[in-house]
Structure 1
Amino acid sequence: MADHNATQRGASEPRIDSDKLASDLTERFRQVLSTKRMNELTTRSVQSRSASPAPRDFGTLQPPSQPHNAPPPSYSSLRNIPLIPQAPQDARSVRFKNMLHSLSNMPIRWENPGLLDEALRVVPLEQIYNEAEEESQILQAEAESLGAGKKAAWGYQDCVIRALLRWFKRSFFTWVNNPPCSRCYSPTIAVGMAAPLPDEQARGANQVELYKCSVEGCGSYERYPRYNDAFVLLQTRKGRCGEWANCFSMLCRAVGSRVRWVWNSEDHVWTEVYSVHRKRWIHVDACEEAWDKPRLYTEGWGKKLAYCIAFSADGAMDVTRRYVRNPSKWGLERTRAPEAVVLHIMDEIRAMRRSNLSKQEKFRLEGEDMREDRELRQYVISSIANEVSKITPEDILNGSAATARPDPDAQKALESRTSGSTEWIRSRGEGGRGASNQQNSRDRDHRRDHTR
């Protein structure tokens, strides 16, 4: 009977799970050890701080010959240290800052809805979109033929800009160097500058070039106002690189693309369009009908460049590394301001343009800036790797520089990037490979004043 009652009590009492009990004990033991470890670390940290000299005592460790308030040592001999943006201090840097801030206003003019509506009226939209649709389908078919999952070279909106570029260069805008005589259509000769007339000034012309007919019996003078207003350029439809980039960039904005206006310190300007398909900015030069050919100016024209600054409605970016892939060969010395100051100016313009944006939009643009910075850094890495690959064992043994060897890819790039006829290139004052950067001083000054 007693055994029977014991059996009943054992059946009614809960059974102890040994695995769960071991797990709970292990977890408690782990927490006790963790708490003990944190207490020990806290005690050591307090003892270490109490044993260390106060910051004010550091001065007693200085050598007697060094003043107590002496500046920290200079580390100018070190290289490849990340730059910290620094505000301009000297007059030259301040002038460079003011100039870049002035140039950054150009893309803001293209945000006028009335101007963009007027621009769409002059664009043959049906022709542009038909060509874009056809090219987009061809590129998509080519990608599918390469296998499943392959991406087309360009997206539909990219094809729209490519069609717009062809129409703009071939049918809409005209290059003007010396305007022909309006009386006898003979060539003219530049004779200087003239003050703008009231109607010219009202349309945005700050300067006017004056030309005289080369025919003695004619003697007629031609005025050539330099307009900066994209609305006026829709009517005149002529100009040099400044007018071309201004008008074309505005048309790209009108058809819905994000655009940049790229200023170059060697008197040239062009456009960059953001490709959502490729997630990067694409070089576009309307004067050359050039699409995604950033090495056009160096390897194509043989020019050396110092600064290439891209301005958009969202800010500014130093994109020189995109166009100067080999700084030792194609780069000019950057003397307008220290590099830390250039970084400060870029950050300043970006902060000003994005001050009214939402946090989400700012975050998206910052991510885009980081991707572009990685892209630009990759160009530098590729350039260094390319130069290293040209070094031969003989060069290392002899201690001499790498021997220049013919590069078939560079030759192909030269042939594809030098566009237009010889007369067309000469009319712009641009030479081929190895040509001097020094152009006619009159034309160079006109272009510099216009682009700025």
Structure 2
Amino acid sequence: MTEQFRQLLSTRRMNDLTTRSTAQISRSGSPGPTDYRRSLHSGSAQQQQQQQQPPSYSSLRNIPLVPTPPSDPKSLRFRNKLLSLSDVPRRWENPGLLDEALRAVPLEQIYNEAEEESQILRAEAESLGGGKKAMWGYQDCVVRALLRWFKRSFFTYVNNPPCSKCMSPSIAIGMAAPIPDEQARGANQVELYQCINEVCKHYERFPRYNDAFVLLQERRGRVGEWTNCFSMLCRAVGSKVRWVWNSEDHVWTEVYSVHRKRWIHVDVCEEVWDKPLLYTLGWGRKLAYCIAFSAEGAMDVTRRYVRNPQTHAADRNAAPESVVLHIMDEIRAIRRGKMTKQDKFRLEGEDMRENRELRHYVIHAIASEIIKLKPADIVSGRIPQVTRSDADAQKAAESRQKQEWVRSRAQGRGNPNQHHQHDQGHR
């Protein structure tokens, strides 16, 4: 379809040029000698002018972007931020610590559930006949079982921590410096809360740990802690894992499915598996950047989560797109610098396959919009404009949803099968 579109566009351009040239000749008639000398003089002048000025053909917009190093301060800050974020998955690659992490997981329960689900999926595929492939492989079922156990039995969501003395609710009063013990365990900041009980008034500290292995002992936190610890456990059970950072203050996990040969979206806080449209169609959010980091590199996967840029894409103004491409290439070069040629070749093949998948999403979105066009609009040349809601009203609605989400979290874990409508944004 892309090739046919290009051929049609090229034919139309050639027809337009031919029509214009014929019309100009018919209006001016046959040129005489004087006119010919004038045309030569004017032509040479136009050539000199064209050499001085770059061409302004609209077709140049279709040329692929060339990675460009960041030069302005804003792009450099964005590069430094992404380089810092790319270090998170590298901390999960210590084999000794991964073995220690498995001691906190009921492996027999996880593997029994995975085996049972895998057998059911294989039986369903066989019942369809024709050599159908099961929906998910055994390793996928292991991660799905781990997801259910982690959400329902292991980790606790914390908004305002309860008072450790009288178990009364607390209110936030600010930040505090980490004490030596907290600092030694990797806490860079500590939130301070006070008990609302007039008799108690105890101060409660909530250190924000970034070390996934410390979180195994703490077993509590918000979205950042949940995703950090769960992603590390997925790595411990043998899956390839990516940590996805979203510029709208959310994070989640991607697990590579060898069975499906693609990356699978996993949100442990919502107990969601392979639902990448949760944030746009489900929560009504607009996303700008979704960057996936692994121990083997980085990938801009925004197109997986934003299928319709007109309605669900936020402004990508942190850096030019060519600079973003350069940063992705730079992180990949850093992470793969010491790999063998075979490993690099394998990863490049996976990158090419994923790029095809992401391009497919763009083509599918364009085709969906074309299907919605009416014949009358095509004939008249009118293209329906997408109506956008008022920005202030949308922000107010999102704020109300966040407050409701926080209250539901504060009441406890709730129904593990219930998918909350919005993330409260606190990482």
RMSD of the alignment, in Å? 2.5
Cα distance in 1 for partners of 2:362, 2:137 equals 27
Counterpart position of 2:98? 116
Structure 2 gaps of 5+ residues are: 1-43, 388-403, 411-418
Counterpart position of 2:3? none
Structure 1 gaps of 5+ residues are: 1-60, 405-421, 448-452
Opposite residue 301 of structure 1, the aligned amino acid is W
Counterpart position of 1:48? none
**Is contact 1:305-1:330 (8 Å) kept?**
yes
Counterpart position of 1:303? 285
Deviations along 1:343-383, one digit per CA (max 9) or x if unpaired, are 00000110111111111111111010000000000001111
Cα distance in 2 for partners of 1:105, 1:246 equals 12
Pairwise mapping of residues 223-242 of structure 1 onto structure 2 (< 5 A)? Answer: 223-242=205-224
- CA drift at 1:219: 1.4
Counterpart position of 2:238? 256
Counterpart position of 1:265? 247
**Is contact 2:255-2:265 (8 Å) kept?**
yes
Counterpart position of 1:3? none
**Is contact 1:139-1:153 (8 Å) kept?**
yes
- CA drift at 1:78: 3.7
Pair 1:292 & 2:274 matched: yes
- CA drift at 1:178: 0.6
Opposite residue 384 of structure 2, the aligned amino acid is A
**Is contact 1:272-1:282 (8 Å) kept?**
yes
Match of 1:328 among 296, 304, 310: 310
Counterpart position of 1:401? 384
**Is contact 2:246-2:290 (8 Å) kept?**
yes
SS at match of 2:101: helix
Provide closer, same or farther for how the CA distance between residues 183 and 76 of structure 1 changes in structure 2, counting only shifts above 3 A.
Answer: farther
- CA drift at 1:241: 0.6
- CA drift at 1:215: 2.3
Cα distance in 1 for partners of 2:117, 2:359 equals 32
Pair 1:364 & 2:346 matched: yes
Cα distance in 2 for partners of 1:115, 1:231 equals 8
Counterpart position of 1:99? 81
Cα distance in 1 for partners of 2:283, 2:220 equals 23
Provide closer, same or farther for how the CA distance between residues 104 and 403 of structure 1 changes in structure 2, counting only shifts above 3 A.
Answer: closer
Look at both structures and tell me which one has the larger radius of gyration over its CA atoms.
1
Counterpart position of 1:388? 370
Counterpart position of 1:127? 109
Opposite residue 246 of structure 2, the aligned amino acid is N
Provide closer, same or farther for how the CA distance between residues 127 and 393 of structure 1 changes in structure 2, counting only shifts above 3 A.
Answer: same
Pairwise mapping of residues 195-206 of structure 1 onto structure 2 (< 5 A)? Answer: 195-206=177-188
Give the structure-1-normalised TM-score: 0.75
**Is contact 1:128-1:164 (8 Å) kept?**
yes
Counterpart position of 2:397? none
Cα distance in 1 for partners of 2:256, 2:45 equals 55
Pair 1:207 & 2:189 matched: yes
Pair 1:377 & 2:354 matched: no
Pairwise mapping of residues 20-35 of structure 1 onto structure 2 (< 5 A)? Answer: none
Opposite residue 148 of structure 1, the aligned amino acid is G
Provide closer, same or farther for how the CA distance between residues 91 and 169 of structure 1 changes in structure 2, counting only shifts above 3 A.
Answer: same
SS at match of 2:204: strand
Pair 1:316 & 2:291 matched: no
Provide closer, same or farther for how the CA distance between residues 332 and 432 of structure 1 changes in structure 2, counting only shifts above 3 A.
Answer: farther
Aligned residues: 359
Cα distance in 1 for partners of 2:359, 2:407 equals 32
% identical aligned pairs: 73
SS at match of 1:122: coil
Counterpart position of 1:30? none
SS at match of 1:299: helix
Cα distance in 2 for partners of 1:126, 1:239 equals 26
- CA drift at 1:389: 1.4
